[in-house]
């Protein structure tokens, strides 16, 4: 885990950042990108940012990444951060992990964070077909379905979900 906070402050708010990388690339592999993002998030929000270097496949298959993300969230709670002052954010695989983690928290009656931010969340690991841009409208109806998912998720979780 890496912690970034604004200079000369002890923030009472935190962002838990979960990196992308197809569940196979570690923070070490992607580090500079996510370190820069953490610094920017902290500067813009005044919050502390905890970036999790969760375990990745193939050496550490599911649910290793989820377990590590949950440990990081519990660490924030143990450090005194209130759930209503925590945002969980992730992109790509980290976005999917953000959603999986939040569903786990809900299902286990654990304190829920204030909000989620996902960017290009990778949520369907079973999808095997690709639609190149030149195919056109072939997948249009299916895309409408996937655009509806955030609406249902936000209602189910009873919290703000930004995708």
Tell me whether residue 67 is in a domain: yes
Residues that are catalytic:
92
Domain count along the chain: 1
pLDDT digits (tens, 9 = 90+) for 29-61: 876 788 899 999 999 999 999 999 999 998 998
Using DSSP's 3-state secondary structure scheme, residue 88 falls into strand
Tell me whether residue 45 is in a domain: yes
Tell me whether residue 157 is in a domain: yes
Provide the residue range defining the domain that includes 111.
2-125+136-162
Q: Domain with 54 in it: what CATH number?
A: 3.40.50.1820
Tell me whether residue 131 is in a domain: no
pLDDT at position 33 is 82
pLDDT at position 134 is 45
Strands, sheet with 14-18, edge to edge from the N-terminal-most edge strand: 2-4, 48-52, 14-18, 86-91, 115-119, 160-162
């Amino acid at each position: 885990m890496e912690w970034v906070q604004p200079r000369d402050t002890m923030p009472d708010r935190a962002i838990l950042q979960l990196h992308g990388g197809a569940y196979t690339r570690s923070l070490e592999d992607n580090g500079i990108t996510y370190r820069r993002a953490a610094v920017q998030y902290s500067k813009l929000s005044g919050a502390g940012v905890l970036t999790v270097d969760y375990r990745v496949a193939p050496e550490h298959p599911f649910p290793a990444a989820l377990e590590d993300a949950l440990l990081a969230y519990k660490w924030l709670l143990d450090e005194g951060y209130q759930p209503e002052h925590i945002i969980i954010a992730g992109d790509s695989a980290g976005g999917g992990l953000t959603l999986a983690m939040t569903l786990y928290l809900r299902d286990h009656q654990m304190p829920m964070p204030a909000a989620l931010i996902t960017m290009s969340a990778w949520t369907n690991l079973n999808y095997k077909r690709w639609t190149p841009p030149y195919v056109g409208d072939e997948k249009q109806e299916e895309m409408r379905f996937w655009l509806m998912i955030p609406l249902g998720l936000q209602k189910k979780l009873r919290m703000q979900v930004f995708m």
